[in-house]
């Protein structure tokens, strides 16, 4: 039984029984709450980026995580996540260097990143990454933090893309997978093509080791 | 002002309050439970349960603006997330005073069931050496209770709560009444076999946890979804919401009022009997008085102490039952520190289900006597958790496109095995809570002020947790380990095991409560949250609060029926 089946079964049980068996007991309110809860990225209008900026970010996210035999960044709505985070989650001080980085990307792309040939897009990204290679963003273990606002634009863009992809519904359930509920088995074989479980039950690892707020 | 009569009033509905309510109601007393938080309904109001990351604002990244504005204290708790937001105390609304030189973190819930809805669920018995430690090394005062006094009460609460674990016969960690244990990860079995061979004194066992591994008392076995703190609609872990409050409700003897902050206790002219409990409704601001034959304070250590201090009178000039001057002092918590090791065994083994529990390494230092090489008294245990590393730890690498994506999809070929040291904290008089002389809260109650710092003993122990962790990692065959220094010790209160500010003892000149959690100087007042604790041991304390609460109710009702408390 996967997570979705579990929820559906629970909803049916709740609908069909006024007295619930011991076991699954998701409530009407809960089922309604979960079923009615659209993805975060579908709850908000996009109003921040210009059309050119949005095109660039959309293309860029797909360069970082393309569609292969599984969905890619655009399929997962990653560009929407990036725009929402930059506009709503970044503070003014945090946003400014990111927007400067985006402007620089557009300029180096001759004004339209999306219009570059794929090889040109990749070459430009690799050049940006080469320039950024001294950044501590690449240090092993530099993940137990909320965000690295000192990191170069290309690094922040990659991190936004990765989060917006693997935490999305598409990325979490069609590329990664739900950890099945119902029992715990501490030793099941891991096949060479098996994906990791998604972060829904655990929340980001960064939370486990790192305190997420600065009390000051 | 309204006035209503009950047999017993219980202040607080968390772990201790839930038990007091259940036991009192089952003995036929008319019980009023007063809870300062809002009402939530079991199961139906666990709105974050089973939510996907994509359903949370910012996909689960913290709402930094909200945290800074409303939850500056609570917001960095591991259990704090969008999925649990509704459970936490709003720090701006209900503040306390931190001394930034001696910071103490007061973690608070704000709903019916209190922190029992979000607790860590680890349940361990104290051992005889824990009850004897104070008199043996001279820190603190002697416990007025021995292991044999409380053992039957441990059994009593365990049979109801449902504790899963392995019976191992450890003298320093007595077995509970166990449901079947949870399974091990393969990587744990590997580590355990190596440790058993090389470090026989280190004896890891599966975490003892108030989570059901089979159906029990009308509650369902765990379905291993993972984040218990969001609430569990199948009632698979023990909480007041899932367990004790429904039992109390079923008797027909309990009245539970939410949104009620108790502000003061009043006594008769002798000072030996509480006659009224004053409360204020947090929504309507209506002031109410209730009276009863018995009063049980279960508001949590800091809040119960605040209430006793704020009930000072001519008969109790320094606060209720405080001729000793101990009330508010000897605040303790468990000092925590986390070491990290990397293991490359069992990389082709994965798992199914999220096990909401780790391993436990019971105390192996200073057991039954002082170790020659130990520059500290008492001891510590480790709570250990394996984590399979994935994209979250390795996205900050070079590359783009299909190769980058593929590398992030699969689990990384190693495990992190974290060893969390949990250390006993000694009772120090200067670690304390007290009332601020100027500032009051929105109901006119003086704010609680806190001062806390670890002593030399805890710092020495923290260093030893690193020395011993290195031995354990080496024995377990870890590839690499990173040890935390004493500067990475948790802040006081972060263990959420605050206790000791109304300690029990034989002598009213040095303690606030007697061995039955009864106030030395107020006959019908019982305090059964963590404030009664005379020492902390190194194990999670909630099970001990449960056992002492049940025992205190048994005693109180017997005395009441004998006519001794009226």
Task: Give how far Cα B112 sits from Cα of A199, B234, B252, B258, B400, Å.
Answer: 29, 18, 18, 7, 50
Instruction: Give which of B398, B551, B469 is closest to A138, Cα–Cα.
Output: B398
Query: Which regions of B12-52 does DSSP assign to beta strands (E)?
Result: 31-34
How far apart are alpha carbons B106 and B73 in whole angstroms? Answer: 7
Q: Indicate whether A12 pLDDT > 70.
A: no
Q: Which residue, B124, B120, B77, is CA-closest to B538?
A: B124
Say if CB B351 and CB A188 are below 8 A apart.
yes
Q: Is B390–A196 a contact, with Cβ atoms under 8 angstroms apart?
A: yes
Torsion-angle region of B217 (φ positive above 0: left; ψ -120 to 50: alpha; else: beta): left
Rounded to an integer, what distance in angstroms lies between the CA atom of residue B149 and that of residue A202?
A: 40
**What pLDDT shows up at residue A145?**
80
- Which A residues, 143 through 182, put their C-beta within 8 Å of a C-beta on chain B? 143, 146, 155, 158-159, 162-164, 166-169, 172-173, 175-176, 179-182
How far from each other are the two terminal CA atoms of chain B, in whole angstroms? Answer: 25
State phi, psi for B262 to the nearest 5 degrees. -80, 130
Summarize the confidence of residues A183-195 as an average pLDDT: 96
3-state secondary structure of B482: strand
Mutate to test the interface with B, among A200, A206, A209, A214 (most CBs of B within 10 A): A200
Orientation angle between helical segments B128-137 and B147-161, nearest 10 degrees? 140
In B399-429, which positions are buried (b, 16+ CB within 10 angstroms) versus exposed (e)?
ebbeebbeebbbbbebbbbbbbbbbbbbbbe
Closest CA relative to residue B116, chosen from B501, B547, B543: B543
CB contact under 8 A, B43 and A126: no
Q: What stretch of H or E contains A98?
A: helix A92-108
Decide if B521 contacts B161 (C-beta within 8 A): no
Distance (Å, rounded) from C-alpha B253 to C-alpha B30?
A: 5
Distance CA B353, CA B213 (A): 13
Quote the pLDDT of residue A204. 56
For A11-27, give one letter per residue: b (16+ CB within 10 A) or e.
bebbeeeeebebbbbbb
pTM of the predicted protein model: 0.94
> Which pLDDT belongs to residue A208?
53
Three-state SS letters, B250-299: HCCCEEEECCEEEEEEEECCCCCCEEEEEEEECCCCCEEEEEEEEEEECC
- Rounded to a whole number, what is the distance in Å from the CA of A179 to chain B's nearest CA? 6
Asked if A139 is an interface residue toward chain B (Cβ–Cβ < 8 A), one would say yes
Closest by CA to B10, choosing from B80, B91, B112, is: B112
Beta bridge partners of B519: B513
CA atoms within 13 A on the CB side of B236: 28
> What's the gap in Å between the CA of B344 and the closest CA on chain A?
14
Residue B418's alpha-carbon distances to B144, B202, B472, B484, in angstroms, are 37, 16, 11, 11
Whether A101 has its CB under 8 Å from any CB of chain B: the answer is: no
Q: What is the model's pLDDT at position B224?
A: 95
Residue ranges for chain B with pLDDT beneath 70:
1-4, 566
Question: Any CB–CB contact under 8 A between A12 and chain B?
Answer: no
State how far the Cα of B176 lies from the Cα of B165, in Å rounded to an integer.
Answer: 8
Q: Which residues contact B316 (CB under 8 A, 6 or more apart)?
A: B267, B271, B322, B521, B522
The fraction of chain A above a pLDDT of 70, given in percent, is 77
**CB-CB under 8 Å, A203 with B60:** yes
- Residue of B141, B210, B152 whose CA lies nearest to B356: B210
Q: Give the C-alpha separation, B317 to B296, whole Å.
A: 21
**Does residue B227 contact residue B239 with C-beta atoms inside 8 Å?**
no
Lookup: tokens for B187? 């990587």
> Distance (Å) from the C-alpha of residue B67 to the closest C-alpha of chain A?
8
pLDDT at A215 over 60: no
Is B400's CB within 8 Å of A122's CB?
A: yes
User: Which tokens go with B107?
Assistant: 């973690």
Span A97-122, pLDDT tens digits: 999 999 999 999 999 999 999 999 99
CB under 8 Å to A189, separation ≥6 — which residues? B348, B349, B350
pLDDT band at residue A213 using 50, 70 and 90 as cut-offs: very low
Contacts of B66 (CB under 8 A, 6+ apart): none
Flag if A6 and B215 touch (Cβ within 8 Å). Answer: no
Of residues B234, B387, B395, nearest to A23 (C-beta): B234
Per the CB < 8 Å rule, is B220 touching A22?
yes
Distance CA B176, CA A109 (A): 67
Picking from A197, A203, A215, the nearest residue to B72 by CB comes out as A215
Terminus-to-terminus CA distance in chain A, angstroms?
45
Letter string b/e over residues A71-96, b meaning 16 or more CB atoms within 10 A of that residue's CB: bbbbbbbbbbbbbbbbeebbeeeebe
Whether residues B387 and A126 touch (CB distance < 8 A) is answered with no
Q: How far is the alpha carbon of A140 from chain B, nearest alpha carbon, in Å?
A: 8
Q: How far apart are CA B382 and CA B369, in angstroms?
A: 20
| Helix, strand or coil, per DSSP, at residue B147 | helix
Rounded to whole angstroms, the Cα distance separating B147 from A83 reads: 60
Q: Does A7 touch chain B (CB under 8 A)?
A: yes
The CA-based dihedral angle spanning residues B310, B313, B318, B319, taken in that order and rounded to the nearest 10 degrees: -40
Question: B519 and B504 in contact (C-beta within 8 Å)?
Answer: no
Nearest to A182 among B224, B395, B404 (CB): B224
Interhelix angle for A28-36 vs A3-16, to 10°?
140
**Which positions ≥6 away from B423 have C-beta within 8 Å?**
B334, B335, B336, B337, B379, B380, B458, B461, B462, B465, B538
CA B148 vs CA B126, B154, B474: distances in Å: 11, 10, 38
Facing residue for A167 by CB, picked from B54, B78, B186 = B54
Residue range A195-200: average pLDDT? 94
Q: Please provide the size of chain A in residues.
A: 216
User: How far, in Å, CA of B119 to CA of B238, rounded?
Assistant: 9
Contact assessment for residue B328 and residue B512, using Cβ atoms and an 8 Å cutoff: no
| The pLDDT value given to residue B366 | 98
Test A162 with B391 for CB contact under 8 angstroms. yes
CB contact A18 to B (< 8 Å): no
**B67/A188 touch (CB, cutoff 8 Å), yes or no:** no
pLDDT-based confidence at A203, cuts 50/70/90? low
**For residues B289 and B2, is the Cβ–Cβ distance under 8 A?**
yes
């Amino acid at each position: 039984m996967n997570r979705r089946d579990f929820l559906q079964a629970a909803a049916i049980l709740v609908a069909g029984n006024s007295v619930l068996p011991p076991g699954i007991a998701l409530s009407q309110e809960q089922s309604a709450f979960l079923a009615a809860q659209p993805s975060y990225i579908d709850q908000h209008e996009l109003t921040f980026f210009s059309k050119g900026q949005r095109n660039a970010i959309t293309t860029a996210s797909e360069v970082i995580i393309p569609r292969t035999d599984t969905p890619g960044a655009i399929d997962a709505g990653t560009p929407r996540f990036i725009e929402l985070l930059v506009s709503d989650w970044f503070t003014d001080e945090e946003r400014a260097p990111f927007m400067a980085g985006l402007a620089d990307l557009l300029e180096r792309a001759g004004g339209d990143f999306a219009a570059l040939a794929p090889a040109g897009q990749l070459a430009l990204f690799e050049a940006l990454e080469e320039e950024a290679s001294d950044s501590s963003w690449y240090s092993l273990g530099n993940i137990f933090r909320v965000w690295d606002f000192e990191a170069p634009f290309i690094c922040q863009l990659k991190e936004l893309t990765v989060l917006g992809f693997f935490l999305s519904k598409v990325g979490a359930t069609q590329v990664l997978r739900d950890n099945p509920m119902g029992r715990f088995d501490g030793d099941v074989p891991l096949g060479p093509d098996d994906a990791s479980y998604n972060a829904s039950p655990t929340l980001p690892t960064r939370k486990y080791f790192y305190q997420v707020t600065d009390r000051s | 002002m309204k006035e209503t009569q009950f047999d017993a009033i219980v202040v607080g509905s968390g772990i201790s309050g839930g038990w007091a309510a259940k036991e009192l109601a089952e003995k036929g007393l008319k019980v009023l439970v007063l809870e300062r938080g809002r009402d939530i309904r079991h199961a139906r109001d666990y709105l974050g349960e089973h939510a996907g990351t994509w359903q949370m604002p910012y996909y689960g990244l913290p709402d930094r603006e909200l945290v800074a504005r409303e939850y500056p204290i609570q917001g960095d708790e591991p259990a704090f997330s969008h999925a649990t937001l509704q459970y936490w105390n709003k720090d701006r609304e209900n503040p306390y005073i931190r001394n930034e030189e001696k910071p103490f973190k007061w973690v608070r819930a704000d709903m019916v069931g209190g922190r029992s809805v979000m607790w860590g669920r680890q349940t361990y018995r104290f051992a005889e050496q824990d009850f004897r430690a104070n008199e043996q090394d001279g820190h603190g005062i002697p416990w007025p209770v021995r292991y044999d006094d409380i053992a039957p009460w441990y059994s009593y609460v365990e049979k109801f709560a449902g504790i899963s674990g392995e019976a191992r016969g450890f003298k320093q960690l007595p077995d509970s009444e166990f449901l079947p244990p949870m399974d091990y990860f393969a990587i744990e079995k590997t580590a355990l076999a190596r440790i058993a061979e090389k470090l026989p004194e280190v004896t890891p066992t599966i975490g003892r946890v108030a989570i059901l591994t089979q159906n029990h008392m009308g509650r369902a076995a765990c379905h291993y979804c993972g984040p218990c703190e969001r609430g569990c609609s199948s009632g698979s872990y023990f909480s007041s919401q899932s367990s004790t409050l429904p039992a109390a409700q079923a008797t027909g003897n309990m009245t539970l009022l939410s949104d009620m902050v108790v502000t003061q206790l009043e006594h008769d002219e002798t000072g030996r009997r509480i006659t009224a409990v004053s409360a204020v409704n947090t929504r309507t601001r209506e002031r109410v008085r209730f009276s009863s034959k018995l009063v049980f304070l279960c508001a949590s250590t800091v809040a119960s102490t605040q209430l006793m201090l704020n009930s000072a009178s001519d008969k109790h000039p320094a606060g209720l039952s405080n001729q000793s001057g101990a009330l508010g002092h000897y605040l303790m918590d468990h000092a925590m520190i986390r070491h990290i090791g990397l293991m490359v065994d069992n990389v082709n083994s994965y798992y199914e289900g999220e096990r909401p529990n780790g391993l436990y390494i019971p105390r192996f230092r200073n057991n039954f006597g002082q170790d020659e090489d130990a520059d500290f008294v008492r001891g510590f245990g480790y709570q250990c958790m394996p984590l399979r590393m994935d994209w979250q730890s390795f996205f900050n690498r070079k590359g783009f496109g299909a190769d980058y994506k593929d590398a992030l999809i699969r689990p990384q070929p190693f495990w992190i095995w974290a060893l969390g040291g949990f250390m006993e904290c000694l009772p120090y008089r200067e670690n304390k809570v007290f009332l601020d002389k100027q500032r009051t809260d929105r109901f006119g109650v003086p704010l609680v002020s806190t001062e806390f710092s670890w002593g030399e003993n805890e710092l020495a122990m923290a260093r030893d947790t690193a020395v011993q962790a290195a031995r354990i990692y080496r024995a377990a065959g870890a590839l690499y380990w990173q040890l935390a220094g004493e500067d990475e010790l948790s802040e006081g209160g972060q263990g959420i095991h605050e206790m000791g500010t109304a300690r029990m003892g034989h002598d009213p000149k040095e303690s606030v409560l007697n061995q039955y959690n009864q106030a030395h100087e107020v006959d019908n007042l019982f305090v059964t949250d963590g404030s009664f604790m005379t020492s902390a041991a190194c194990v999670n304390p909630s099970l001990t609060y449960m056992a002492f609460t049940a025992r205190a109710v048994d005693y109180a009702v017997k005395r009441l029926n004998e006519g001794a408390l009226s």
